[in-house]
Structure 1
Amino acid sequence: MMEEKVDMATSSSETGSTDLTAPKSNYMLKLDLYLIPLLGCTYTILFLDRANIANARIEGLEKGLNMPTNGYNTCLWIFFIPFVLIEIPSNMIMGLPRIKPNIFLGINLIILGIISTCQGLTKTYGGLLALRFLMGIFEATLPAGAAFLIGEYYTRKEASMRFACFFMFGVLGPAISGLLAYGIRNMNGVQGKEGWRWIFILEGLLTIAISFLVFLFVPDFPERTAILSGADKKHLLAKLRHDKGDQKLDLKSVNWLQVLTDYRIWFPTLMFFCCDMTAASMSSFIPTILLELGWKAAKAQVMSIPIWLTGILFQILAAWVSGRVGWRFPLILFGISFAMVGWIIQIVYSHNKGLAPGVRYFSLFAMSGGTFLQMAMTVSWMTTNLRGRASIGVGTAIIMGLGNCANFVASNVFKKTEAPFYPTGFGTGLGLTIAGAVFCLMHFGFLWLHNRRLEKKRGVHGGVDDQVSYRYLY
């Protein structure tokens, strides 16, 4: 397994030298139970709130609010203007010494739930646009903040599976949304409200309920955590310091220009952007595509669920393989290739109207499996090669914020006038998927060159990695 060569015998912690042999208590399981399910739920909420507008669309949203022809697309992209701008300052605020992650994330989540619920109460298209914009502000804190906190608790070897589980919860969002929409649509007429309104109202109330769990159970950063005993906390801090260096955030001592121009952040962000084009397209348009394949609205809602579950399966399987072999690069390339197959089928379908609808349905599985595999592996690959809380905080904010800018593209290239074949959207999706492969190869090349230079510098005597000079992982 290609991991850094570090002396794991001893480590200097805040209280002195610490033995890094495995502690008697299995505190890692405790961390997993506290961190992954709840923080994963915040990511589920992001995708749930992002996908439910697609479910509401096929239940009559556009007609109910008398939306213009491009109104649905505008509702999609207006959300991402504040979402992209807020990510980096949000993570920097959350990383400050006096800010507690549970309070910070919990407050944002409860406000998000209120705004999301109001989408089902608005009477006008303009009101929906305003609510979508506000959602972008408060939702921006959740994925980047959750990924930031997870990255702080685990070593590079441990992180891959945890990020896969975190992203798994994200994929559950649209899967659950399809299932909920199938049930909620039967509430059409209850309290005089259309079924699409109940989709927003009930899922917004679910967001508010989860926010109280975040307040109660999400832990503080490792050096301030109260969920571990003294010995376990001491062992964790020593292990993390050996693996990633000092994680305290001192804003005055950070070389911000170096952090903000780090290619180890920007190449993974470009890769994430390219694969998120597929994810954004799927979450926004799968129900519509299934409807256009001939299924009625109710069946289209249900038939979207296996597509998302395929993404979960590929994520977990890839993380398990990565943990065994210590590689991320080949798995990401495989995911890109598999997603590419899906896009190619869609393009062929758009030029060959006689192609069996089942083939097009299969292409959505290929896109889901390949795309969500890439997301988990790319974030893990980035955090694996970074050091320090500032770099990890900025890195996770950039990749989860700017990486999601693909939603701007997806919102505008899938034109309603081109339905159901969307030649512009499918061509753009394939082009960005190919670009993702190019960025992946370039990133691998830069990491390989760094390692070669380091080996030549150390010469025949080799040398031991430290927190300044170390081999990058592939």
Structure 2
Amino acid sequence: MAAISEKAVLGGSALVDEKLARHTVTAKSSKSELHLQGVQAEVYSLDPQADRRLTNKIDLKVIPIMGLLYLICFLDRTNIANARLAGLEKGLNMPPAGFNTALWIFYIPFVLFEVPSNWLMALKWIKPNIFLGAQMLILGVLAMCQGFTRSYEGLLVVRFLMGVVETGLPAGAGLLIASYYRKKELSLRFALFFAFGQSGSCFSGLLAYALMDFNGASGLAGWSWIFIVEGLVTIAFSAFVFVFTPHFPAQDRWLSKEDQTQLLARPQLDKGDEKSHMVKVGWPKIVLDYKIWLLTVLFFCADMSAGSLSSFNPTILSQLGWTERRAQVMTIPVWIIGIVGALTTTLLSGRLNTRWPFILPAIVVSILGWILHLKQVDPPAVRYLAQFAISLGTFVQMPMYIGILTANLRGRAHQSFGTAVLLGIGNCANFVSSNVFISAQSPHYPVGFGTGLAITVLSFPIMLLTMVIFIVHNKSIDRKIAALQPGEELDDQTDYKFVY
């Protein structure tokens, strides 16, 4: 298959409707064509400045609203850890393992509903702003209900319902982001996406620090106010999701016709002829795609660390000698180092168009953090440093994994299933992290720290295996290209090189 520059745009006609651009490449020829609504148009070089301006428009339209959506999700997902320090367990007379149960019950719907939710959102007649905005509104109401509940059983019911509503938000946002960007651009954009989420944890810690002073106000405990105020924030933000969330590129009208033509052409030239429909697709082949499951296992291993940080970071820090109030604030730098590390490495990986040289060292850094905790290295400041190591290593990996996956999938059906599985099944690590930090083992947590170390170590050989499989695949594609006869072409849906 002849190579096509990704800096290309349609010349002549700017007709764009709801059909994605198709490109046909003649073997061993540098001549290529794009077909749009049956109209042929030659491809010419796109001015780099014009290409950059278009990317900037997309960044300003897509990333802030999707990132803020994830920030709110993380806020509502992690505030229970802050509420614990504010007296949640005592206030609801929770049993010894009650806090762990309140954590993992939230993630049951992620396994049950994440894939169906993404398939539903990918349907042509579903508008993402309505789909995601409605879920965000309901999530805010349920988040407030946590603050008004007066029983442990009531909290569990509300937590489960929150999981049902939130399950489609991160995966839906991920699917929308993946539809707008080229392969080399995805890791940085997902790093920005995750950075917003981690900022939600920073905000949650700071807000919890302030709201602990509200203890007793209007007859409500401080932990109740954490849930109520953060639920109100979620409700208020849902209005922005309704208004500003874009549609998928082929169906949205927020860009000019010329910009939309270029936008549709860029991913086609980057990835090939992608199918936008959800009906006539090879579902068995998609479901059994080994790329999805390899990257999901890697994401699972990283999310074990992320889940441990989000659920137990305040608890662990409070046991290093700080007061509960001070521990709330000391969680913030731990999240910031993860944000800075992820953005820096994904920016570099995008420029180099490679990811594995950043992933493998990140795994090693995270392993070091878990070892320091498991060995209970003194003084306590060393274990605080361990939290930084885990955060840095973890949040460098996660956007890289989802970036690799989405860059190597073809078509909306494939991407909707892949992102849902990675963010749904991958999030099952929270089942593990929710149950291995046993209160009776405080503050040493040998099971929790040992499990975190083992799962993180496992990711290293799996990443090496993934690289070997991808290298072998790419060599087979090179052989197919070399064997092409004049007039023959490869199938864009199956015969393409993988990035890693």
**Alignment gaps of 5+ in structure 2:** 9-32
Question: Counterparts of 1:23-422 in structure 2 under 5 Å?
Answer: 24=50, 26-349=53-376, 355-422=378-445
Moved more, 78-87 or 125-134: 78-87
The amino acid across from 2:499 in the alignment is L
Report the CA distance between 1:464 and its aligned residue.
8.2
TM value normalised by structure 2: 0.90
Q: Which residue of 2 aligns with 1:6?
A: 4
1:442 aligned residue (460, 465, 469): 465
Structure 2: distance between partners of 1:99 and 1:449: 39
Report the CA distance between 1:430 and its aligned residue.
0.6
- When the two structures are aligned, how many residues end up with a matched partner? 467
Contact 1:36/1:166 (<8 A) preserved: yes
Contact 2:301/2:456 (<8 A) preserved: yes
Q: Does 1:454 align with 2:477?
A: yes
CA RMSD of aligned residues (A): 1.8
Structure 1: distance between partners of 2:147 and 2:273: 46
Contact 2:122/2:278 (<8 A) preserved: no
Cα distance change of structure 1 residues 464 and 448 upon mapping to structure 2, 3 Å threshold: farther
Q: Which residue of 1 aligns with 2:448?
A: 425
Greater CA radius of gyration, 1 or 2?
A: 2
**Alignment gaps of 5+ in structure 1:** none
Cα distance change of structure 1 residues 247 and 111 upon mapping to structure 2, 3 Å threshold: farther
Report the CA distance between 1:306 and its aligned residue.
0.2
Partner-residue secondary structure (3-state), 1:251: coil
Partner-residue secondary structure (3-state), 2:426: helix
Structure 2: distance between partners of 1:318 and 1:99: 35
Structure 1: distance between partners of 2:212 and 2:44: 55
Report the CA distance between 1:244 and its aligned residue.
2.6
Report the CA distance between 1:413 and its aligned residue.
0.7
Partner-residue secondary structure (3-state), 1:11: strand
Identity, in percent, stands at 48
The amino acid across from 1:342 in the alignment is G
Structure 1: distance between partners of 2:272 and 2:123: 18
Contact 1:5/1:465 (<8 A) preserved: no
Report the CA distance between 1:248 and its aligned residue.
4.4
Contact 2:278/2:412 (<8 A) preserved: no
Report the CA distance between 1:88 and its aligned residue.
0.4
Partner-residue secondary structure (3-state), 1:17: strand
Report the CA distance between 1:204 and its aligned residue.
0.6
Contact 1:18/1:235 (<8 A) preserved: no
The amino acid across from 1:134 in the alignment is L
Cα distance change of structure 1 residues 151 and 207 upon mapping to structure 2, 3 Å threshold: same
Structure 1: distance between partners of 2:192 and 2:43: 30
Structure 1: distance between partners of 2:489 and 2:187: 24
Report the CA distance between 1:243 and its aligned residue.
1.9
The amino acid across from 2:345 in the alignment is A
Contact 2:275/2:410 (<8 A) preserved: no
Contact 2:366/2:394 (<8 A) preserved: yes
Report the CA distance between 1:455 and its aligned residue.
1.9
Contact 2:147/2:226 (<8 A) preserved: yes
Q: Which residue of 1 aligns with 2:13?
A: none
Could you report, residue by residue, the CA deviation over 1:196-233 in whole angstroms, capped at 9, with x for unpaired residues?
10100010111111110010011110001111001110
Cα distance change of structure 1 residues 325 and 232 upon mapping to structure 2, 3 Å threshold: same
Could you report, residue by residue, the CA deviation over 1:281-312 in whole angstroms, capped at 9, with x for unpaired residues?
11111100111111001110010000000000
TM value normalised by structure 1: 0.95
Could you report, residue by residue, the CA deviation over 1:304-354 in whole angstroms, capped at 9, with x for unpaired residues?
0000000000110111110121111121111111100100101110xx6xx
Structure 1: distance between partners of 2:165 and 2:315: 27
Could you report, residue by residue, the CA deviation over 1:153-191 in whole angstroms, capped at 9, with x for unpaired residues?
111122121111111111112111101111111111211
Contact 2:276/2:412 (<8 A) preserved: yes
Contact 1:248/1:388 (<8 A) preserved: yes
The amino acid across from 2:255 in the alignment is L
Partner-residue secondary structure (3-state), 1:252: coil
Report the CA distance between 1:27 and its aligned residue.
2.7
Structure 1: distance between partners of 2:96 and 2:435: 12
Q: Does 1:21 align with 2:45?
A: yes
Structure 1: distance between partners of 2:489 and 2:91: 65
Partner-residue secondary structure (3-state), 1:79: helix
